[in-house]
Structure 1
Amino acid sequence: MKIQYILFICFFSLYGCGNDWLDLSPNTSVDSDKAITALSDVEFAANGLYDTMQSSNYYGDQMTYYGDLTADDMRSYKTTSTGASYYQFKYHKENATNSFWSVYYSIAKNVAIALESMDKLDIQAGKEFITPSGRKTTEDKYYNENRGQILAIRALALFDMTRLYGYPYQKDQGASLGVPIVKSVVDKDSKPVRNTVKECYDAILEDLNESLQLINEERYDGKLNKWAVLNLISRIYLYMGENEKALVAAEEGLAGAKQYGFALATHEEYPLMWAKPFNNEFLFEIVNLTTDSPGKNSIGYHYRKFNMIATTSFFKNYLAKSEDIRKSVVSTDSSSKPYCDKFPEQEGKSFEDCNVVVFRMSELYLNAAEAAVKLGNQEKAALYFLPIYARTNTEWDGRDITLADVLEQRRIEFWGEGHRFFDLLRNNLRVERTDYLESVATDARSFDWNFYRIVLPIPRKETNLNGNITQNPGYGD
């Protein structure tokens, strides 16, 4: 896999991956057919995109901790800790990081190049094909599963950008601005406008629905599959308030994943699964190798070095309870600083090099439970909620399950995985931060989806490069 990553990166170095607005060189827009010239190149293209997802500017670090530090269950250890500007909400258009923006457009640009090139390949249905890794398949199946993965990666990246820079969908039914949608190879002088959040969600779902028809159902380590895509679709529908569709997607994902051996970790397996890559609960994880991980810029390093720790209230209310098996993911040093230990040493790799889990079976259960509760279906709510609640090692009292119950389990289950901020705001709930550093701005201690800083400012560099990019409200012109 590492060799494939290097080949792809070298291949695409011709096409530019800088931080400027779609800094495509002229030969990119003219000679994109040179990107993929043989069927085997398709997998190299997909692997190169997975490699981008490892970046410390994406799931390798910032995307993972952003959704925790901006909420109520995790805080910066001190004002100089990594991510402290997010935690304190002390960012503006002049100091805003360009990292999320540049990673997304690197992915969007390379996906456009890859798909345009793939369309020109001559694929023979049913013809035997040996993949670069030696697996026997057919040309059309190999082509389709890689195309499905590439589309899903683009959809995930656009979804993440939309929830970082656009207001929650249900706040105004997607009328606010998201980000520019890039689905084709454009020239270096292109100056697109920001699409609305609704337009972004429509584009995301278009990619994911096409991906579903193509992507592999089988498990390939470090690769997306149909069940992970259904996980993402169910999450997106929850964000949109489309609860019936969210429930259908989650149930289909659960049923299919189980057929391929995926399952919730048992009580005995749970404390050990974080150190065991590609276990049955993980639908998709980003692979880090000792030779290509973010290293000291990784989420594993920053958690282990106490840059981010549990808030006192969260630790006392949840992680300190000995009966809940999820207590096993919190570790402390001699100073009793509770940090997230979901990124431990793995099979000879340092915690700096651990894989990053993006989709888990537990989310499919909780997505289904949340959708069922909102639909008033207590039978299905219990069916999907109780297997997760069992991790508390306490008996459910038999009462009707509420949204608050589901969200409480989500906050415990996904602590340290970047969900909490988005889970609260997409449900129009307040973020109440009772345990904070004094440097946190007053208006960032208690807020809802009307607080302008729940979306990031467009970096000044981007608005300078593209005068058509409108700044988010509250951050000036």
Structure 2
Amino acid sequence: MKYTKYLAILAAAFMMGSCSDDFLDKEPSENASEDQIKDLLDKDPTAIQAYITGYYKNMFSPEAQQSHDDFGLKAFELATDLMGDDMAYMTSHFFVYDYLLDNRASSYRRTTTYWQELYAVISGANEVISGLKEQADSGDESVEKMLGQSYTIRAYCYFWLINMYQQPYEWNKDKLGIPIYTESETKLNRVPVSEVYEQILSDIDKGYNYLKGKGIAKKDELNEYAAAAIYANILSFVNDYPDQWNEVAKYAKLAIEGGSLMSEKELLSGFNDLSLSEVLWGADINGETNTFYASFMSQVDPYGPGYGGNLGNYKMISSDLYEKISDDDIRKKWFGVDLGETNTHYKVRQYVQRKFIDIGSTAPGFTPTGDTFCSDYIYLRTGEMYFVAAEALYRAGKENEAKTMLTTIMKTRNPKYETSATSDALLQEIELQKRIEMWGEGRRLFDMKRRNESLDRTHAINHSAIAPKEVPAGSKLFIYQIPDKELNANSEITDKNE
């Protein structure tokens, strides 16, 4: 697919182009020559901001959007959470095939849009880097910020791609990965997983260092703290990285500096606003940019007019995970909805989620603060980083520091929280509390994969009777096939995954 964008030389104005069928064509389109673009950017580097605006929009309102279960990164987060063991689903509607681990075939919409949308963002990032790389050492802060955002988002997109089109790095370094293309080279073949990670690590290091020291200007743009959070998550997969776990802890701690832990009021406010104190990065959505029924809140808000509410496609926490939440834990209030529902499936209504509530929702006790389906999307927040840091510190042999990190965040979730756990029990406690904390935010499947954990849904009473209950770690069911559209357009790829 070609993600064409063009610059029109008219009062230094920019215009965005459209998506066509060949991803890996990096040539500027018909409205401006490379020389014209270079001349414009030499005079005004900020003119390239249109590309940045474009790739951010593709993260929540993709040009390749095909259906109401396709709304960019939040759709991928929801799909992958449903592939794990902590989210239960009873109905046969959007996302059911993700839940059934049956949405991975090369001809399916999910595998195609996932590929198209992330490579489209990469294409936009490449254009920015190509346009500004000659000014990288100019000392111009605006150039550094634009480069930092572009390297960081490219790293994040490749991270999502490699972890859904191949098994985890630790056991599969030499396996076939995905094509790589940057501002300077195109590799159409499936390069090895290790080589993909070399590119990811190079990009995130450049991205973080360009953004370092520049704080947060706007939460709908990548910044030094969001880049640090992405860096920490990436490094947690790279088992042979020098001093791996101390490095993961370092970047997680740097990310934590970008926000303060949420109050009880914030924790129960619906996870729908970038102004929440933990938010590092997300999408600022309003009446002009929302995608209506093709949106995250349409799919998950149990009180709303969308698929997750009006149509009864409720998203639930698995009963076994719910039972592990202390009654004193604020997060237990994220679940439990009086549905007025006669369907016998929902006699398990205490498990229905209310963590995510739309800003226009009619939820009991909830005061609407905006229009329906205009909730912001939250991609990264500091809360996650406390658990990432705690796990990393434990694995680095710093058990006391790990316990302190865990207790610091848990006291804000449960003021009565104490743990006497040590050794493996402490690690299990860290992992459990992260599962509760990040429920519905797209982290569970990747954690399962990097820890080589099997899927086990046998301990919950509210999983669908037709859902797979046990799947071994490393199963092909946890990765996508390369989409047919790419196979048909790219003769360099002959293996699409089993």
- TM-score, normalised relative to structure 2: 0.80
Q: How does 1:303-318 map to 2 (within 5 A)?
A: 303-304=300-301, 305-306=307-308, 307-314=313-320, 316-318=322-324
Partner residue of 2:268 out of 256, 263, 271: 271
Instruction: Please state whether the residue corresponding to 1:408 is helix, strand or coil.
Output: helix
**Which residue is equivalent to 2:393?**
372
1:196 paired with 2:201, answer no
For 1:58 and 1:167, the matched residues in 2 are separated by 24
TM-score (norm 1): 0.84
Residue 453 of structure 1 corresponds to 477
Distance 1:123 1:234, change over 3 A: closer
Higher helix share: 1
User: Which deviations, in whole Å up to 9, do the C-alpha atoms of 1:233-273 show, x marking residues without a partner?
Assistant: 11111122359434334435535753x6x211134542237
Aligned match of 1:397: 419
Say yes or no: does 1:324 pair with 2:329. Answer: yes
What's 2:107 paired with?
94
Query: Residue 424 of structure 1 contacts residue 430 of structure 1 at CA under 8 Å; is this kept in 2?
Result: yes
1:230 to 218, 228, 231: 228
Q: Could you tell me which residue of structure 2 aligns to residue 386 of structure 1?
A: 407
Identify the residue that residue 171 of structure 1 maps to in structure 2.
Answer: 171
Q: Tell me: CA distance 1:394–1:143, structure 2 relative to 1, closer, same or farther (3 Å).
A: same
2: CA distance, partners of 1:86 / 1:281:
29
Match of 2:48 in 1: 42
Give the Å deviation of 1:154.
0.9
Larger mean CA deviation between 114-123 and 193-202 belongs to 114-123
Q: Residue 17 of structure 1: CA displacement?
A: 1.8
CA shift for structure 1 position 204: 0.8
Q: Is the CA contact 1:180–1:195 (under 8 Å) kept in the aligned structure 2?
A: yes
Structure 1 residue 73 corresponds to structure 2 residue 70: no
Structure-2 change in CA distance of 1:448 and 1:117 (3 Å):
same
Give, in angstroms, the shift of residue 28 of structure 1.
6.8
Q: 1:84-140: per-residue Cα shift (whole Å, max 9, x none)?
A: 111112232233531011112211222222222223569964xxxxxxxxxxxxxx0
Is 2:152–2:204's contact at 8 Å kept on the other side of the alignment? Answer: yes
The offset of 1:12, in angstroms, is 3.2
1:105 matched residue in structure 2:
119
Asked whether 1:12 is paired with 2:16, we answer yes
- The residue number in structure 2 matching 1:117 is 131
2: CA distance, partners of 1:96 / 1:277: 30
- Structure 1 distance, partners of 2:242, 2:328, is 32
Residue of structure 2 aligned with 1:412, choices 436, 439, 444: 436
CA shift at 1:317, angstroms? 1.3
**Maintained 8 Å contact 2:225/2:256:** yes
Please give the per-residue CA displacement for 1:453-477, whole angstroms capped at 9, x wherever unaligned. Answer: 1101111121111122243432xxx
Other-structure match for 1:157? 157
Matching residue of 1:426: 450
Residue 134 (structure 1) aligns with:
none
Spell out, residue by residue over 1:376-425, the C-alpha distance to the aligned partner (whole angstroms, 9 max, x if none): 32111112111233324443232315322111011100000011111112
User: Residue 331 of structure 1: CA displacement?
Assistant: 5.1
Deviation (angstroms), 1:26 = 7.3
Superposition RMSD in Å: 3.0
Q: Relative to structure 1, is the Cα distance of residues 177 and 457 closer, same or farther in structure 2, using a 3 angstrom cutoff?
A: same
Q: Is the 8 Å Cα contact of residues 223 and 285 (structure 1) preserved in structure 2?
A: yes
- The aligned amino acid for 1:281 is E
Query: Which of residues 274, 287, 292 is equivalent to 1:290?
Result: 287
Look up the equivalent residue of 2:179 and give its one-letter code. P
Name 2:356's counterpart in structure 1: 342
- The AA in structure 2 aligned to 1:179 is I
| Alpha-carbon separation, structure 1, partners of 2:397 and 2:138 | 49
Distance 1:75 1:429 in 2: 18
Q: Does 1:206 align with 2:202?
A: yes
Cα contact 2:7–2:31 (8 A) shared by 1: no
Mapping of residues 57-68 of structure 1, within 5 Å: 57=70, 59-68=72-81
Alignment partners' CA distance in 2, 1:243 and 1:402 = 24
Question: Distance in 1 between the 2:452 and 2:22 partners?
Answer: 35
- Structure 1 275/29 Cα, relative in aligned 2: closer, same or farther at 3 Å? closer
Asked whether the 8 Å contact 1:34–1:117 carries over to 2, the reply is no
SS of the aligned residue for 1:18 comes to coil
Q: CA deviation at 1:450?
A: 2.5
RCO (CA 8 Å, sep 6+): is it higher in 1 or 2?
1
Letter in 2 for 1:74: M
Name the CA distance, whole Å, in 1 between partners of 2:272 and 2:485: 40
Change over 3 Å in CA distance of 1:413–1:150 after alignment to 2: same
Tell me, what secondary structure is at the counterpart of 2:19?
coil
> In 2 relative to 1, CA 194–399 (structure 1 residues): closer, same or farther, beyond 3 Å?
same
CA contact (8 A) 2:129 2:147 kept: yes
The residue number in structure 2 matching 1:184 is 183
Q: Does the Cα contact within 8 Å between 2:455 and 2:472 map onto a contact in 1? A: yes
- Secondary structure (helix, strand or coil) at the match of 1:11 reads coil
Relative to structure 1, the CA distance from residue 268 to residue 110 in structure 2 (aligned partners, 3 Å threshold; closer, same or farther) is closer
The answer to whether the 8 Å contact 2:71/2:291 transfers is no
- The CA distance in 1 between the partners of 2:248 and 2:263, in whole Å, is 24
Q: 378-387 vs 464-473, which deviates more?
A: 464-473
What amino acid sits opposite 1:283 in the alignment? L
Letter in 1 for 2:497: P
The verdict on how the C-alpha distance between 1:244 and 1:349 changes in structure 2, with shifts beyond 3 A counting, is farther
Q: Is the 8 A contact 2:245 2:396 kept in 1?
A: no
**What secondary structure does 2:434 align onto?**
helix
8 Å CA contact 2:180–2:191 kept in 1: the answer is: yes
Indicate the residue corresponding to 1:135 in structure 2. Answer: none
Q: Residue 291 of structure 1 aligns to a residue in which SS?
A: coil
Aligned to 1:357: 378
* C-alpha distance after superposition, 1:18-60 (max 9, x if no partner): 3544355674799345556322213332222111111364645
For the 8 Å contact 1:370–1:406, the answer to whether it is kept is: yes
